Amino acid sequence: MPGPTPDVDGDDTPANDDPDGGVRIDMISGARMEGLTGMEKIRLILDGVRDGNIVILEEGLSPDEESKLIEVTMTEISPDDFTGIEIETYPKAEAGDQSFLDKLMGRESTQKLTVIGPANRIETLHKDENLISTLVSRK
């Protein structure tokens, strides 16, 4: 069951406070995201990314949530502070396994590993249907 708040680590310590300047990676399970609203998911992601963390979602976001993530990200960009996000998922496979009822009811299969990080710290080196290779830099 997901926790009651969108705080990943559940404590008040500043994120990414490793004295060696390491990179913190939050791997968030599908179960953790399941009980959250779309906006809570976006807040959970952006709060982590704005702290300089890399966020990995086991099951990704729905297209509608991705659209809202872009929109909210844009509203939070500010010069010399936050330049946006880098996000990578595997390209969508053919949705041939969706049933007619699922399509009719608007239920979408969103299970796709998704990597999200600060735009100024994560760079995609290679991406294809089966491999995402990224370079993560320290602050």
Partner 1 sequence: MGLLTNLRDSISRVTDGLFAADDPKRIGIYGPPNAGKTTLANRIARDWTGDAVGPESHIPHETRRARRKEGVEIERNGRTVTIDIVDTPGVTTKVDYKEFLDHDMEKDDAVRRSREATEGVAEAMHWLREDVDGVIYVLDSTTDPFTQVNTMLIGIIESQDLPALILANKTDLPGSDVQQIANAFPQHETIPLSALEGDNMDEVYTKIAEYFG
Distance CA 113, CA 84 (A): 20
Q: How far is the CB of 3 from partner 1 (least distance, A)?
A: 22
In the bound state with partner 1, the residue whose beta carbon lies nearer, of 9 and 34, is 34
The nearer residue to partner 1, 17 or 77, going by C-beta atoms, is: 77
CA separation for the pair 135, 125 (Å, rounded)? 7
Nearer to partner 1, 24 or 112 (CB): 112
Strand order, beta sheet including 54-57: 25-28, 54-57, 114-118
Q: Least Å distance between CB 107 and partner 1? A: 7
54-67: b (≥16 Cβ within 10 Å) or e: bbbbebbbbeebbe
Residues within the interface to partner 1 (CB under 8 A): 62-64, 66-68, 70-71, 73-75, 77, 79, 83-89, 91-92, 94, 104-108, 119-120, 124, 127-128
